[in-house]
Structure 1
């Protein structure tokens, strides 16, 4: 009963904050509703503390009424933490950054941007060439830019950038002068769309994006594009618990593309290496230790000849990325101690790609959680937030936080419950 009362009090407090901000702006409820695209009754309910659990709505309200995010519980202030002798130095360097990042968390893609992306993926007649065609070089630069947005976890901007890029590429593909190159760029853009949708937990539409990516990869005929599309296809399969099919798909494709690594260009090796690492993820999720080790060994072999470990790289593959996947695989296999032992040296190593850096700390949190070390898991999540704030807001991490908070029945880690509320997940 006490916990329910706390929730009601928090909801009423949020309602008061919204009402006071509206009055400061000298706006009526009808004016605010029109700016938000809601009915006036919804604004009234919000001000009465109803519906405030929807963090996406709160973010929209914060933007319209110029309310600081932390006043609506959408960002947490820096939280002091207890010393951890194993990683104390790392926490000391990163925890201040975590607190700063949480006070300025940019939103994930808006509902409108999400719908625009889904609409861009829907079947449509091939567009006719237009007079003002965009050059292939410019299109390539735009595709590289959206890949960089994904690597830096700027999912809000990525959601806005993808639909017009897909439209431009489809227009350009109707011109046969550079069809193969443009089709390859279109396949890469569909791959990125699928990856973003998976981050957002929208598996249904990720399937549609993967279908587009695979079709364009086959049209293109470039083995690099094919390997990248297969990687994303395997990701969706594994997410939907079709791990055996994902492992088979990666294994079959790798057999056709592997070998002669010393004579392959970096772009080829990076695409192949990332696909093999997806096999690591699928096999470890399935609990197949033998296949996990086989894929890891193959990835290590490829990584001897290539290291593209930058947010602006076409594909982020390197020996460090292989080690990061080994940590993740150990967690998936339930080997928390092994995972943390492998993670410790990586925690001290510069990892220039924010998405990969955040993944390391999320995997550390998963391992700590498996060991029942909830306070350490919470601290790891705050470090992950400092690396990539939007990535910590994705459904998979929110589920982890919810699970950790639910297991802390005695509230021995109050900061964890505070963090859970600010992520909008049940504590």
Structure 2
């Protein structure tokens, strides 16, 4: 059978059928039909998605209501989103392919930077920040500041990110980056490289939140370079963690698993002898590894990373948003919820989330992350009203965070699936966020 598109006008799925609320098993049959017409085996299709073959087998037999999975499948099989009951609000939060070698990794980063979309996005997401990341682009004079002042301002920038105050970060980061670069050139002090690495990490994380992968890669590269220059293992662990985040967002979760596992092995040691901050940085790196493994549908690796992170948690607990390496049992719990959601285990995700709901989580970004994962789990179960309630709690915790592309996409998809309008609050939320339905 020849590979090709099957959903052109007059295809086997009628418009009337596509307007109905998607039935998971019907979606599974659609996925199988499209895969067969492409000429791919389940193993070949799984490799392109970055999943294990058993995941594809389960998809074709039982279907799924997981929005991220459906979007990745639709993109790869050329299935119109309407067939899956999804909106056309775009996001870069897919992972269409599996791992890659070093040459392909570099090509992906360069390709993202060269993408025409980068310029358009940067115009809407802090053009001064993007300019500050460019080589050689800095004012002729930078305001002099002491090392202590620069360190406090770097910590304050991290605090703004944890509070999801992205607009304020747009105003703070460009000047801070410029001054840190000038101070490093003048003092040749490894401390300046450490502070620059941390600031670039914040910049990369902010750009990733906005879906600006191209410019985020630029910040990631600078963070890793400065961390290596500083010789500080905490800065290096944190930079590798952000690099893993960018790989995941770019659809290369397996490459992120390999990179994080290697770095964690190099940076770890006897847990009872490592300084607390370094141990916390290693713990955070392991949690990012769990995230990457869950996106790659590698359940064994998820348990490996989470198990090791829990072991680290026996020796260190730093629960301060302004810390260089904020690692705690709360973070472990939040990442456990997130990995269950990514694996499609909605029930397990909600069970893991239950004890966290009554816990005091200081950072708004983390509180919002919990409720967003609860919303995704409720969506997977088809509980649209409960998903909307969780989204409202996320919005209350961090209003700016729910305006980023991945969340707007989730809101739009829920609204499209609510065909009968039983959850009117979804339409209101779309209006508030400027989401077309």
Question: So what's the TM-score if we normalise by structure 2?
Answer: 0.70
1:278 & 1:263 partners in 2: Cα distance? 23
Q: Provide the residue aligned with 1:395 in structure 2.
A: 405
The question of whether the paired residues in 2 share the 8 Å contact of 1:311 and 1:353 is answered with yes
The question of whether the paired residues in 1 share the 8 Å contact of 2:138 and 2:178 is answered with no
Alignment counterpart, residue 192 of structure 2, candidates 182, 191, 209:
182
Q: Provide the residue aligned with 1:121 in structure 2.
A: 133
Q: Provide the residue aligned with 2:265 in structure 1.
A: 255
1:284 & 1:146 partners in 2: Cα distance? 30
The question of whether the paired residues in 1 share the 8 Å contact of 2:122 and 2:130 is answered with no
2:302 & 2:332 partners in 1: Cα distance? 12
Give 1:245-284 correspondences, 5 Å limit: 245-284=255-294
Alignment counterpart, residue 201 of structure 1, candidates 211, 222, 237:
211
Return closer, same or farther for 1:182/1:313 CA change in 2, 3 Å cut-off. same
1:304 & 1:321 partners in 2: Cα distance? 13
Structure 1 residue 349 displacement after superposition: 1.0
Alignment counterpart, residue 163 of structure 1, candidates 160, 169, 174:
174
Give 1:285-300 correspondences, 5 Å limit: 285-300=295-310
* Secondary structure of residue in 1 paired with 2:126: helix
1:401 & 1:194 partners in 2: Cα distance? 24
Question: So what's the TM-score if we normalise by structure 1?
Answer: 0.72
* Structure 1 gap segments, 5+ residues each: 1-108
Q: Provide the residue aligned with 1:173 in structure 2.
A: 184
The question of whether the paired residues in 2 share the 8 Å contact of 1:148 and 1:312 is answered with yes
Alignment counterpart, residue 228 of structure 1, candidates 224, 238, 243:
238
2:122 & 2:133 partners in 1: Cα distance? 17
Q: Provide the residue aligned with 1:330 in structure 2.
A: 340
Structure 1 residue 185 displacement after superposition: 0.3
Q: 1:149-177: CA deviations, max 9, x gaps?
A: 01111111111100000000000001235
Give 1:23-422 correspondences, 5 Å limit: 111=123, 114-124=126-136, 133-176=144-187, 179-422=189-432
Q: How many residues of Structure 1 are paired with residues of Structure 2 in the alignment?
A: 317
* Secondary structure of residue in 1 paired with 2:362: coil
Deviates more, 1:394-403 or 1:368-377: 394-403
* Structure 2 gap segments, 5+ residues each: 1-120
1:294 & 1:113 partners in 2: Cα distance? 37
1:391 & 1:174 partners in 2: Cα distance? 35
Structure 1 residue 257 displacement after superposition: 1.3
Return closer, same or farther for 1:302/1:129 CA change in 2, 3 Å cut-off. farther
Structure 1 residue 217 displacement after superposition: 1.2
1:345 & 1:200 partners in 2: Cα distance? 30
Structure 1 residue 113 displacement after superposition: 6.8
Q: 1:369-427: CA deviations, max 9, x gaps?
A: 00000000000010111111111111111111111111111111111111112111122
Structure 1 residue 335 displacement after superposition: 0.2
Structure 1 residue 272 displacement after superposition: 1.2
The question of whether the paired residues in 2 share the 8 Å contact of 1:181 and 1:220 is answered with yes
Structure 1 residue 129 displacement after superposition: 8.5
1:253 & 1:110 partners in 2: Cα distance? 31
Superposition RMSD on alpha carbons, in Å?
1.8
